[in-house]
Amino acid sequence: MAKTTTDHDEIRRWAESHGGKPAVVRSTHDEDGGKNRKTGVGLLRLMFPKARQSDHGELEEIDWNEFFQQFEDSQLALLYEEGSNFNKLIGRDTAEKREHGDHKAARH
pLDDT in tens, the chain (108 residues): 889 999 999 999 999 999 999 999 887 655 554 444 345 667 999 999 887 666 667 889 999 999 999 999 999 999 999 999 999 999 999 788 767 665 665 554
20 within a domain of the structure (yes/no): yes
86 within a domain of the structure (yes/no): yes
105 within a domain of the structure (yes/no): no
Residue ranges making up the domain that contains 58: 3-99
Contacts of 82 (CB under 8 A, 6+ apart): 3, 14
57 within a domain of the structure (yes/no): yes
Query: How many structural domains comprise the chain?
Result: 1
Whole-prediction pTM: 0.77
54 within a domain of the structure (yes/no): yes
94 within a domain of the structure (yes/no): yes
108 within a domain of the structure (yes/no): no
CA nearest neighbour of 41 among 19, 13, 73, 10: 73
